Amino acid sequence: MAPTFMVSAPGKVIVFGEHAAVYGKPAIAAAISLRSYLLVNTLSKSRHTVTLNMRDIGLDHTWDIAALPWAAFNQPEKKKSFHSLVTSLDDDLLNTIIPHAEEVSEHLPEQDRKIHISSAKAFLYLFLSLSSPHSPAVIYTLRSTIPIGAGLGSSASVCVCLSAALLLQIRALAGPHPDQPPEEAELQIERVNRWAYVGEMCIHGNPSGVDNTVSAGGKAVLFRRQGAAGSSPLVTPLPRFPKLPLLLVNTRQGRSTSTQVEKVGVLRRNHPKVVEPILEGIGEVSKSALELISSTDFDGDNGSINAAVEHLGTLIRINHGFLVSLGVSHPRLERIRELVDYAGIGWTKLTGAGGGGCAITLFRPDVEEETIRELEQKFEAEGFEKYETVLGADGVGVLWPAVFRNEDDDTAAEEIDQEMFEKAEGAQGVDRLVGVGAQENRKGWKFWRRMAV
Ligand SMILES: Nc1ncnc2c1ncn2[C@@H]1O[C@H](COP(=O)(O)OP(=O)(O)O)[C@@H](O)[C@H]1O
Ligand SMILES: C[C@@](O)(CCOP(=O)(O)O)CC(=O)O
Ligand SMILES: [Mg+2]
C-alpha cells in the first residue's frame, strides 16, 4: 500500500496581461507564497471507494469507484495516455461525469452548489482520465491558504495538486530528486501542467493556461498561448524578475473567473474592432515590461532603479486602464486604486480575472514606511484585506511520505495524518503544520525545478 503523501502547489499573481492571455497575447506572472496542499491517504484494498474532502468549501463526498463511468473514459478512441496533450474537454465524457459531480451538492444554495460542482467535475475528469477502476480506495483531503475566487489562481493550484497526486499514484511522475537533470524536471513539470490545464478547463471554460503553468513550474514566467489548437504555449522563465515591493489587497468581493472571461468574450464578439486593439495594447504592455526587466539591474544604483520602477509603474497604470475599458474592474477595486493614487505613492492594477478579487500596488522607491502604514490602516477600516506574500515561489512539490523529520534527530519524526490536517486552524494553522518553508522543521518538501534560461 502506498504511504500517505502530500503534494502542494502555489497561487500566482498576474503582473501584466490577464484576459489578453486568453487571446494569445503575452502575459507575465509569478508564483506566490500562498499555496494549496493535498493529502493522499490510500486505504486497504478491501474498500472500493474514493473520497474527495475539500475542507475550505465544506465538500466531503465519497463515490463508489465501480459506479463511476469508466467504460466511457476507457473507450479506445477516448482513452488518453498520461503524456497526452489535451487542449479541449470531451463533451461526451463531461456529460457522463456531471450526474456524479452533482451528487456532491444536492441540498446547497445555488452559489455554493456551483463551487462544489466545478471542483468535483475537475476532480472526476482527472481521476477517470488518470486512474483505473481497479485503483485502491483513496481519500484526497485538500486545504489551501489561497483565497478562493480572488484572482490569485486558487483553481489552478488545486488542479496542479490533483494532477500531481494522480500522476504520482500511477507512477507516471519521477522524482524530484537532488541530482535530477533539469531537462527531466522540466518534463515532469510539463506532465503535471498538462493535466492541471484539463482540470482548469472543467472549472472555467476557456483558460489561457497561464495560471496552471505558473503554479506547476513556480518562479516568474512570460507566457504566451499559441494560436493553433493542440499546440503547447510558449513559456519563458524570468530568473531576473525583480523582488519589488508589491502590496496585494483583496476587495473581498467574490466573483468567478469563468463569468469575467465570458464577459470579455462577449464584448470582443460585439465590438471586435475596438476590443482587439485593447487586447493587443495589453500584449504590448507585457512586451515593454519584459524588455525593461531583461535590461535593468534592479539591484544596481538608485538613480537607474528609480527610473525603471517609474517605467514599470506606468505600465501597471496603463494595463489597469485597459482592463477597466474591458469592463472587468469593480467599484471596490477602483476604491483601492483611488486611495493609492490620492496618496501619490504608487501604481495599482487589478490582478487575475477582476470583477472583484485582488489588486496589486507597486510603491514608489522613496515612499516612507509611515505613509504605507497609514494607507494600510485605511484599507483595513474599509474592509479590505492585505496579504503578505513573496513573488517567485517554488512550483509543485511533494512530501513523500507525509512525515517531517528533524534532520539531526530521527526520533523527532512527525507524521501528518488526516485528522491533524483537517483540524489545523485557518491558513496560519495549515502553514504551521505543513507549510512550505514556514518553519525550520518543515523541510521535507521536494520540488521539481524549472530550467532557468
Ligand atoms: N480551496 C479550494 N477547495 C476547493 N475548490 C477550490 C479551492 N480553491 C479553488 N477552488 C475551485 O476553484 C474555483 C475558483 O476559481 P476561479 O473562479 O478561477 O478563481 P481564482 O481566481 O481563485 O482561481 C472555485 O469555484 C472552486 O471550484
Ligand atoms: C483572466 C485570466 O487571464 C486569469 C484568471 O486568473 P484567476 O482565475 O482570476 O486567478 C484568465 C486566463 O488567463 O485563463
Ligand atoms: Mg482561477
**C-alpha to C-alpha distance for 225 and 233, rounded to whole angstroms:** 4
Element (H, E) at 8: strand 5-16
**C-alpha to C-alpha distance for 66 and 49, rounded to whole angstroms:** 8
DSSP secondary structure, 411-445, as one string: EEEEE--HHHHHHS-HHHHHHHHH-TTSSTT-TT-
**Who's near 186: CB < 8 A, 6+ residues apart?**
450, 451
For residue 114, the ligand 1 atom closest to its alpha carbon is 25
Please give all residues whose beta carbon lies within 6 A of any atom in ligand 1, as ranges: 54, 56-57, 115, 118-119, 142, 144, 148-155, 158, 203-204, 256-257, 352
The answer to whether residues 152 and 258 belong to one domain is: no
Q: Say if residues 129 and 195 touch (Cβ distance below 8 Å).
A: yes
Cell numbers representing residue 286 in the block = 507585457
69, part of any domain: yes
217 or 405, higher pLDDT: 217
How remote is the CA of residue 387 from the centroid of ligand 1, in Å?
18
209, part of any domain: yes
Model confidence band, residue 182 (pLDDT cutoffs 50, 70, 90): confident
85, part of any domain: yes
Average pLDDT, stretch 130-149?
96
The answer to whether residues 313 and 381 belong to one domain is: yes
Q: Which ligand is nearest to the CA of 115?
A: 1
The answer to whether residues 368 and 420 belong to one domain is: no
**Chain segment 7-53, per-residue pLDDT in tens:** 999 999 999 999 999 999 999 999 999 999 999 999 977 789 999 99
For residue 264, the ligand 2 atom closest to its alpha carbon is 1
Q: Is 18 in the pocket of ligand 2 (CB under 6 A)?
A: yes
The answer to whether residues 324 and 414 belong to one domain is: no
**Who's near 197: CB < 8 A, 6+ residues apart?**
86, 87, 159, 207, 209, 212
Residues paired with residue 447 on neighbouring β-strands, in sequence order: 397
Reduced to 3 DSSP states, what percent helix, strand and coil does the chain have, rounded to the nearest 5? 45, 20, 35
The answer to whether residues 400 and 335 belong to one domain is: no
For residue 19, the ligand 2 atom closest to its alpha carbon is 3
User: How many CA atoms does the CB half-sphere of 36 hold within 13 Å?
Assistant: 31
**Chain segment 303-341, per-residue pLDDT in tens:** 778 899 999 999 999 999 999 999 999 999 999 999 999
**C-alpha to C-alpha distance for 343 and 251, rounded to whole angstroms:** 19
135 DSSP assignment: P
Cis peptide bond prior to 133, omega within 30° of 0:
no
17, part of any domain: yes
**Chain segment 236-287, per-residue pLDDT in tens:** 999 889 888 889 999 999 999 999 999 999 999 999 999 999 999 999 999 9
3-state secondary structure of 196: helix
% pLDDT > 70, the chain? 96
Model confidence band, residue 180 (pLDDT cutoffs 50, 70, 90): confident
How remote is the CA of residue 225 from the centroid of ligand 3, in Å?
16
**C-alpha to C-alpha distance for 231 and 337, rounded to whole angstroms:** 38
Q: Which ligand is nearest to the CA of 258?
A: 1
How remote is the CA of residue 365 from the centroid of ligand 2, in Å?
29
The answer to whether residues 187 and 290 belong to one domain is: no
pLDDT computed for residue 452 by the predictor: 66
Q: What is the ipTM of this complex?
A: 0.99
Question: For all residues of the chain together, what is the average pLDDT?
Answer: 93
Query: Which residue from 12, 15, 18 has its CB within 8 A of the most atoms of ligand 2, so it is best to mutate?
Result: 18
Order of strands across the sheet that contains 385-387: 346-350, 358-363, 246-250, 385-387
453, part of any domain: no
Q: What is the pTM of this model?
A: 0.96
The answer to whether residues 401 and 424 belong to one domain is: yes
The answer to whether residues 228 and 248 belong to one domain is: no
The Cα-based distances of 391 to 140, 148, 188, 394 in angstroms read 28, 19, 23, 10
452, part of any domain: no
For residue 147, the ligand 1 atom closest to its alpha carbon is 22
48, part of any domain: yes
The answer to whether residues 150 and 264 belong to one domain is: no
The residue count of the chain comes to: 453
Tally the domains of the chain: 2
Helices 257-270 and 272-295: crossing angle, nearest 10°? 120
pLDDT computed for residue 85 by the predictor: 86
The answer to whether residues 137 and 282 belong to one domain is: no
Element (H, E) at 91: helix 91-102
> 254-290 burial, b for 16+ CB within 10 Å, e for fewer?
ebbbbebbebbbebbeeeeeebeebbebbbbbbbbbb
CATH code where residue 348 lies = 3.30.70.890
Q: Say if residues 371 and 343 touch (Cβ distance below 8 Å).
A: yes
How remote is the CA of residue 155 from the centroid of ligand 1, in Å?
4
Q: Which ligand is nearest to the CA of 282?
A: 2
The answer to whether residues 195 and 256 belong to one domain is: no
**C-alpha to C-alpha distance for 280 and 24, rounded to whole angstroms:** 9
How remote is the CA of residue 113 from the centroid of ligand 1, in Å?
13
pLDDT computed for residue 441 by the predictor: 61
Query: Which residue from 12, 13, 14, 256 has its CB within 8 A of the most atoms of ligand 2, so it is best to mutate?
Result: 14
For residue 155, the ligand 1 atom closest to its alpha carbon is 12
3-state secondary structure of 403: strand
CATH code where residue 214 lies = 3.30.230.10
The Cα-based distances of 252 to 79, 125, 326 in angstroms read 41, 30, 21
The answer to whether residues 387 and 399 belong to one domain is: no
Cell numbers representing residue 142 in the block = 485538500
Q: Is 20 in the pocket of ligand 2 (CB under 6 A)?
A: no
How remote is the CA of residue 159 from the centroid of ligand 2, in Å?
14
174, part of any domain: yes
Query: Which residue from 37, 56, 148 has its CB within 8 A of the most atoms of ligand 1, so it is best to mutate?
Result: 148
Domain ranges, residue 125? 5-237+395-447
Is residue 202 scored above 60 in pLDDT?
Answer: yes
- Which residue, of 372, 391, 410, is where some domain finishes? 391
How remote is the CA of residue 417 from the centroid of ligand 1, in Å?
24
Nearest residue (CA) to ligand 1, atom 23: 153
**Who's near 376: CB < 8 A, 6+ residues apart?**
247, 386
Q: Say if residues 148 and 57 touch (Cβ distance below 8 Å).
A: yes
- Active-site positions read 211
**Who's near 429: CB < 8 A, 6+ residues apart?**
423
